[in-house]
Structure 1
Amino acid sequence: MYPKSLIAVAIAALSVALPAGAGTTYPLQLENCGVELNFDHAPDSAVTVGQAATEILYALDLGDRVKGTSVWFTKVLPEFETVNEAVERLADNDPSFESVVAKRPGLVAVQYEWHVGPQGIVATRDQFADLGIPTYILPADCIGKDNTSGSDGTRTQLYSMESLYLGIVELAQIFDVGERGEEVVADLRGREAAAIAKARGLGLKDTSAVFWFSSAEMDIDPYVAGQGGAPAYMMKALGLRNVVESNEEWPTVSWETIARANPSVIVVARMDRRRFEADDVEKKLAFLRSDPVTSQMEAVKHDRIVILDAHAMDPSIRNISALEALAAALPGLSGQ
C-alpha cells in the first residue's frame, strides 16, 4: 500500500492546498496510520514519544509547544540543545500513560506505532482519544510496513524519505506552520540529492554493507538492518548491496553468516542508550577486532568501519546526515 508515487502526490497536494504564506484552514482532516484525525484549531501543546518526532517539532520551530519528551537514543541535535533544555524529559525510554496525560497535551506525536497501537506499550490510540487527546504517528513507521509481525515490524516496501517528508508536512499543517514545513523538506531534499550524486559519481562496483545496531548480548547474533528500513534505503540510494536478506526491520543474523557474505563496509551504531552491552560503540569495535570470526572480515582487517548515530538508522531527519556521512566515507573503499 501507499506506493512512493502516491506519497509524493499527497505531499504535493498538501503543499498546494493553500497559497504560499497562507495558514492552515480548519477544520483539518487527516488520515494517519489508519485513523482519521480532525483538528478544529492548531494544538496548543504536544508531548512526544520518540526522538524522531521530537526533533521534527523542533525543526518546525515548535519547541515552545512541546511540554514533554521521551524515548531517546542519543543527545539531541546540537542546533536544538537550547530549546530542548527547557522541555521536560518524561522518560529516557518508554513513558507511562499517566505521565503523558498529566501534561494535558493537545497532541501526542509518536515515532513508533507499537507505542500507541492496538497493543500499545504506553497506551492505545483509543485510550488517548477517550480523553480527547489525538495521537499522530510518523507515517514512516506504518507506510509500507506491517507492524503485526516481528519484534520491530516487517517492511513490505522499501523505506522512502517521502514517508518522512509526509510526516513533516502534515505536522506543519496540524500546527499551522505550513510554510516552515515546506522549508524544512526543501532543505532535506537538496541535501539528499547531493549525497546520492556524490556516491554515484564514485562508480563503485559490487560494494556491500551491513548495519549493526546492537546485540542483546555481546557475543550472540546481532541486530542488523534488514532489506526494507532506513539503512536499506541508504544502501540502495548510494549504490551499496545489503548483505542481509531479511525483510524484518532489525533481524538477528549470525556473525558466521555475515562473515561469509564478507561486506565491504560495516556501519555500527553509536548511542547513549545502555539497554544492552552492545549499545556501547567502543565495545562493538573491540568485539569486531577480537572475535575469531568477525576479525577475519575484510572490512575489519582494513578498518572499513563507519560509525553513525543510532537514531540516524531509524526514520528521522537524521537520515540525511547519515546519508552524507556514508557518502563521504565511500571514497575510501575505492581500493577494496
Structure 2
Amino acid sequence: MTFPKTLAALFLALPLPLHAADYPLKLQNCGVDLTFDKAPDSAVTVGQATTEMLYALGLADKVRGTSVWFSDVLPEYAEANAAIERLADNDPSFESVVAKRPGLVTVQYEWHVGPQGIVATREQFADLGIPTYVLPSDCVGKDNTSGSDGTRTAMYAMDSIYQGVTELGQIFDVDDRARALVTDLKSREAKAVEKAQALGLKDASAVFWFSSAEMDIDPYVAGRKGPPGYMMQALGLRNVIESDEEWPVVSWETVARANPSVIVIAKMDRRRFEADDYQKKLEFLKSDPVTSQMDAVRNGRIVIMDAHAMDPSIRNVAALEVLADALPAFDLK
C-alpha cells in the first residue's frame, strides 16, 4: 500500500517554489485562528498521518522530530525518515517537542494536543510562540469531548484530508505540490470506488477490527461514521456496527449475531496490546468458539489492512484500493 514511486520521487525532488506566497496567511483550524507571516522554518509532528503528509509534500527537510507511530513509514519516505529524530514511538512529552524549537507543531489527534491534550494544550504551545495545526479530519464533523476516541457527528469524507493537504501546502508555500497530491489521491479514490461498485453488491456487510485490550475480551471495532465506515459505504458494504463512536468496544457475540460478510483486521507494528499482532487476531478468529462460526471466518473472507490506513490519513486511499481489490474474489453477489 504505497503511493506511486514516480509521484513520491517527484515531490521529494521538487525545489521550493520561486514565487512568494501571500502572507500573512490566515486560517481557522479546529476552532483556533492561525496567522502565518511566513512559511515555518521547521516542524515537529505528533501523529504519523501528519508526518507522512509533510513527507508527501516534499517537506521532510523541515521536520525536526516525529512521534506517534502505528506502522513503518511508507517505503518511499524511509530514507528521509531515517535521518529525522523519533521523539517517541507513542506519546511524546511536551518538553521533548518544545526542545526542538519548531516553527510549527502538526497534530493528528486533538486528544494529543487540544483542549485536554495529553501532550499539551494548544494554548501551552502558543504561550511559547509555537503555533499548532491539527488535521481537520480530527475535528470536522467530530465531537472529541465524547467517547475515548471521539464521536463522529457526520460521515467522514476524504475532503477533510484533502483540506489538510491543501492548508499545509499554503502554510509552507508549496501549493503546487499540494494540488498535485490531491489530484492524484482523488483519481485513485474514484477508481477504487468504481471498481467495487461494478460488483453490484446488494446485502454484503463488514466489520473492521482494530485491536483489543486483551485477546479474549470485547474488541475495538470501527464505528459507522469514521474512515472505515466511509470505506464500507463507498464500496457498497454495510457496516454491522451502528455506533457513532470512532472505535467502540463491541462484544464478539454481538458481531457474530450480525454475521458480517467480510472481516477486515488491522496490521500494525505497535504492540500496546497482544491483539495488535494481526497473526494473533487470525488465530483468535479461527479458534474462538463464537468467532470461528462466522461465515467470513469459515469462508476465508478476511482482509488484512494497514492499521494506519484505518485512521484519517492519506493512506485511506490505499486502503480503499486494498478492499476493492479483495472483494471480487469473495463472490458476495
Q: TM-score, normalised by structure 2?
A: 0.94
- Structure 1: state its 5+ residue gaps: 1-19
Alignment of 1:22-171 (within 5 A): 23-171=20-168
Q: Give the 3-state SS of the residue equivalent to 2:209 in structure 1.
A: strand
Quick check: 1:268 aligned with 2:265? yes
Q: 1:319 aligns with which of 316, 321, 332?
A: 316
**Residue in 2 that maps onto 1:17:** none
Quick check: 1:189 aligned with 2:186? yes
Structure 1 CA distance for aligned equivalents of residues 19 and 268 of structure 2: 40
Q: Is the 8 Å Cα contact of residues 204 and 332 (structure 2) preserved in structure 1?
A: no
**Residue in 2 that maps onto 1:328:** 325
Structure 2 CA distance for aligned equivalents of residues 116 and 93 of structure 1: 13
Q: Is the 8 Å Cα contact of residues 204 and 334 (structure 1) preserved in structure 2?
A: no
Structure 2 CA distance for aligned equivalents of residues 335 and 147 of structure 1: 36
Q: Deviations over 1:196-240 (max 9, x none)?
A: 000000112201000000000000000000011000000000010
Structure 1 CA distance for aligned equivalents of residues 100 and 327 of structure 2: 46
Shift of 1:21: 8.4
Q: Is the 8 Å Cα contact of residues 107 and 133 (structure 2) preserved in structure 1?
A: yes
Quick check: 1:229 aligned with 2:226? yes
Q: Deviations over 1:66-105 (max 9, x none)?
A: 0000000010000110110111000000000000000000
**Residue in 2 that maps onto 1:180:** 177
Equivalent pairs counted in the alignment come to 317
Q: Give the 3-state SS of the residue equivalent to 1:24 in structure 2.
A: coil
Q: Is the 8 Å Cα contact of residues 140 and 315 (structure 1) preserved in structure 2?
A: yes
**Residue in 1 that maps onto 2:14:** none
Structure 1 CA distance for aligned equivalents of residues 174 and 38 of structure 2: 12
Q: Give the 3-state SS of the residue equivalent to 2:106 in structure 1.
A: strand
Structure 2 CA distance for aligned equivalents of residues 117 and 105 of structure 1: 17
Q: 1:309 aligns with which of 281, 306, 311?
A: 306
Q: Give the 3-state SS of the residue equivalent to 1:113 in structure 2.
A: coil
Q: Deviations over 1:126-158 (max 9, x none)?
A: 000000000000000000000000000000000
Q: Which amino acid aligns with 2:44?
A: V
Q: Which amino acid aligns with 1:169?
A: T
Q: Give the 3-state SS of the residue equivalent to 1:292 in structure 2.
A: coil
Shift of 1:333: 2.1
- Structure 2: state its 5+ residue gaps: 1-16
Shift of 1:119: 1.0
Q: Is the 8 Å Cα contact of residues 47 and 107 (structure 2) preserved in structure 1?
A: yes
Q: TM-score, normalised by structure 1?
A: 0.93
Identity %: 74
